[in-house]
Structure 1
């Protein structure tokens, strides 16, 4: 029997309500089912956040990772995205069960995250190489969401919080909505995007290469897919200086539109902070500070 951390249990019940409670009540049965169906032994999990993720050893000796989640729209999108990426810059999908919310993935060993690379420039170059592999023209027939879905989420937040949410004033949210609308409506070339690509979702492999994990799956312009990377791994750093330099490197390496990237940065930093406040009642201080960093950088390069 696997003992689930109380914080993880609370997260599941807070987000998924009764459906989450039912999933937790049947968790041991699900584990037994997976071990039998895929002929594996599931080990104690990695650090848990929103999904149960653990290493597993197949009966034939192969190292695997199993990911279990309360079945939902985001899970279905992840499966679709993994199939679209098909191991190109991305961890390989071995099998899945859509009804039960199960993913069986290859295990990336040693599996250190990009946070282990202390040199900022080197980390950005690794991330940009992953982005080059992942991004491809959006497929015509797919159930993946577009950036418009995230615009709709931000508009809903604005409507439901007429006085703002947490430290974010309604004027800031509305400004982000307006920018999001303008950018979404003026996109030209649409690509298949990761949707949540950051330092903790890029892992080192035994072949001395790096691969992405945990795609959200999204259609949109490439500039948008850089923002989560820009928002992460900012602890004990000068956020303005670090984001400024990261932006310049990514623009140079990937031939991106810097002006649109900075605008996306502001709009998505607002959205990410709002999401955290809705889900957990708290927020990441670096995400929040980045709202004003992106505004300052945009002003510096395009308004001064």
Structure 2
């Protein structure tokens, strides 16, 4: 027994300190019998399916550009400690453009090909965008033409013409990229499979509270250019995925009754659309 949670005995955890508690899970920094300091995460029911897909992704990636999954037991994960410096911290010390370039390098690393087949559990993009499609159908029935309808049509076209399909993180943002002993690594993957261009879409909406950045059209254009070069795709495709994702995120917030963050995401999507018009 360590603290208020009993971890599997074979993990040899001698002490545990809670460092985070979110809707997804409770996170502990743990010390094991050999002196190793790792991370244990007790998953919560609300996002259990998504979290287990993420664990499958981590196991498949096996430490390549990604935090290493050491062990799992039902709803508890044991992972290496990726570090304590986030890409958000990097913005404060080296600037946003430097952080964007690092994100592109990290993307290249964890997108490296593998001879191991991807997990069957990974979620395809058609299902991933389901909340956006549902919202767009509701708006269409009510005679509403707006960003949700436009984004849903755009997402359907993108999904029908996917390129470079591979396992994706699915929730890449500045606090899911961490620097530590093994360099920059991704944490907390959602576990999707689809067009590689989708994997950077969430970066445009982050950091969440930095509206001075996320709604800055020069920043959006710069990010799109960096990611287009990294993925060897055209800028418009990057921006279309970013716009579709922004509206998807807004649809999620609407489902949760979170009007404030819904508005923030739609504002980002509107800025992305302005850049897309000029691309």
Q: CA deviation at 1:45?
A: 2.1
Q: Name 1:278's counterpart in structure 2.
A: 255
C-alpha contact (below 8 Å) 1:137/1:190 kept by paired residues: no
Q: Secondary structure at the match of 1:216?
A: coil
Gaps of 5+ in 1: 4-27
Instruction: Choose between structure 1 and 2: higher strand proportion.
Output: 2
CA contact (8 A) 1:202 1:212 kept: yes
TM-score of the two chains, using structure 2 as the length reference: 0.86
Q: TM-score, normalization: structure 1? A: 0.79
* C-alpha deviation, 1:116, in angstroms: 1.2
Whole-Å separation in 1 of the counterparts to 2:140 and 2:277 = 27
Aligned length: 266
Gaps in structure 2 of 5+ consecutive residues: none
Cα distance in 2 between the residues matched to 1:199 and 1:279: 23
Partner of 2:80: 106
Query: In structure 1, what is the equivalent of residue 239 of structure 2?
Result: 262
1:135-184: CA deviation from partner (whole Å, max 9, x where unpaired): 145946622111111232322233456688xxxx6632111111111110
2:228–2:234 contact (8 Å) kept in structure 1: yes
Does 1:153 find its partner at 2:131?
A: yes
CA contact (8 A) 1:147 1:219 kept: yes
SS in 2 for 1:143: coil
Q: Which residue pairs with 2:223 in the alignment?
A: 246
Output the CA distance in 2 between the equivalents of 1:136 and 1:153: 30
Contact preservation (8 Å) 1:154, 1:177: yes
1:204 and 2:182 matched: no
Partner of 1:117: helix, strand, or coil?
Answer: helix
| Cα distance in structure 1, aligned partners of 2:230 and 2:140 | 40
Determine the C-alpha separation between the residues in 2 that align with 1:161 and 1:70.
Answer: 32
The answer as to 2:196 corresponding to 1:219 is no
Contact 2:23 2:44 in 1 (8 A): no
